Amino acid sequence: MTTDIKRTRVLQGAALMVSAAVALVGSGAAVAAAPGHVDGGRDPVMRDVARQVLSVGVPGYVARIDYGRKVGVTLAGVADRRDGRKLTVRDQFEVGSNTKTFTAVLALQLVDQGKLRLDSPVEKYLPGVVPNGRNITVRMLLQHTSGLFNYTADPDFFVDIDKRPQHVHTENELLAVAFKHAPNFAPGTDWAYSNTNYILIGMVLQKLTGRSLPALVEQRIAAPLGLVNTYFADPRAINTGPGYARGYSVSFAGTSPVYTDVSARPLGGWAGAAGAVISTPAELSRFFEALLGGDLISAEQLKQMKTTVELGEGFGEGGYGLGLMRIDSPCGTVWGHGGDTLGHHSAAVTTENGRRSAVTDATAEPSDTSPNEGVLRFVKVVQAADTVTICRMLDKPAPQAVMDALRS
């Protein structure tokens, strides 16, 4: 599976999975990564996947695969390193840029209602906010063809977060970071993943509806689908006790991994409409199944959502639609997204008819700002694990090269 919010700067050229969320230099006592336990599931391949993921320093890992007629769950490691509480399939976690699909659904619902037009300029909805906003359409924002600089790619952004970890950024603060940089290209002429696009879509949604993003997610997606543990962090997760998978920023620069628990940081205060949703494996699966099954937007808007442009170099095989990715895996084409936060790597995919799905979460994210063996192995193994999971969902064997990468 591939992902996206924008991960460590040293990984920017890797596949979309590893170009996802964030970079933050970790701190804390050095401890050795333990293999941990592996529970649940009768699939020996997925149990092997879980063991390999834990072996690269991930505290906890969950994979939930809906095969259409049955559901398989594989669990490994702990949800909380402090007390050793085992991870469960019911635990909430930060879904990162899977949030973009939620945000895109909210936008397309407004298109269905005639309140928003995909090919209207953002200047119409946010006058004076976006440089060259007359030439950047809503569609370009949703599809990452606007050319706007990605605020999380600013070299000082995560350094500043490290200095003020509890600071809640306003949308205008995030845009100020983005707009001090020149655009990557002229609007509509290329593709480049940018969280800035979705901060702007979130602002448009709030202006047109008069409602907050937490309210919109609850009222228009979570409540209709019966998702009781899915919500927009405002600005933090509201359940960080038992039943919550804590996330860890990990540095591999020393002789042993160094873990920093980043769970209490205000995800909604820096990721916003680009990455601030909290969910569970079952509920995130339900969301993507409902979307591809036609339960959330009209057939016309789903068609628009699935109309893709070519991904940029280093972002894997497939295409990007309107907040939805087409992933051309070695075992077949699936649809979904993925996400990384300061402490989680997750991926969510479904078949085109929404009848099968898979969601995974690894409760760690590399924080190193220069390449090292630990980071590279983490990336290689977790990326391979995502691909194997897609293949298991499709009832196909993963290519030997992928299995070799998993066990590297």
Residue 3 counted as domain residue: no
User: Could you tell me the pTM of the whole model?
Assistant: 0.92
The rounded distance, in Å, linking the Cα atoms of 93 and 103 is 18
Q: How many residues does the chain have?
A: 408
pLDDT digits (tens, 9 = 90+) for 24-77: 222 233 333 444 566 656 899 999 999 999 999 999 999 999 999 899 999 999
Give residue 168's domain range.
Answer: 9-406
pLDDT the model gives residue 40: 56
Here the CATH number for the domain that contains residue 367 is: 3.40.710.10
DSSP 272: G
Name the β-bridge partners of 340: 345
Intervals of the chain under pLDDT 70: 1-41
* DSSP reduced 3-state for 263: coil
pLDDT the model gives residue 347: 98
Residue 274 counted as domain residue: yes
Residue 2 counted as domain residue: no
C-alpha distance from residue 265 to each of 169, 211, 237, 248, 261 (Å): 12, 24, 9, 11, 9
The rounded distance, in Å, linking the Cα atoms of 126 and 137 is 11
Residue 89 counted as domain residue: yes
pLDDT digits (tens, 9 = 90+) for 184-236: 999 999 999 999 999 999 999 999 999 999 999 999 999 999 999 999 999 99
Give the burial class of 183: count Cβ atoms within 10 A of its Cβ; 0-12 exposed, 13-18 middle, 19 or more buried: middle
pLDDT the model gives residue 324: 98
Residue 35 counted as domain residue: yes
Residue 176 counted as domain residue: yes
Residue 4 counted as domain residue: no
pLDDT the model gives residue 275: 98
- Encoding tokens for residue 123? 């200047």
Task: Enumerate residues 6+ apart whose C-beta is below 8 A from 52.
Answer: 381, 384, 385, 406, 407
pLDDT the model gives residue 138: 98
- Is residue 158 within a helix (H) or strand (E), and if so which, with residue range? helix 157-163
The rounded distance, in Å, linking the Cα atoms of 34 and 48 is 15
**Which residues are part of the catalytic machinery?**
97
Residue 1 counted as domain residue: no
- Encoding tokens for residue 188? 């509509």
* DSSP reduced 3-state for 46: helix
Residue type, 131: P
Looking at the structure of the chain, the number of domains it has is 1
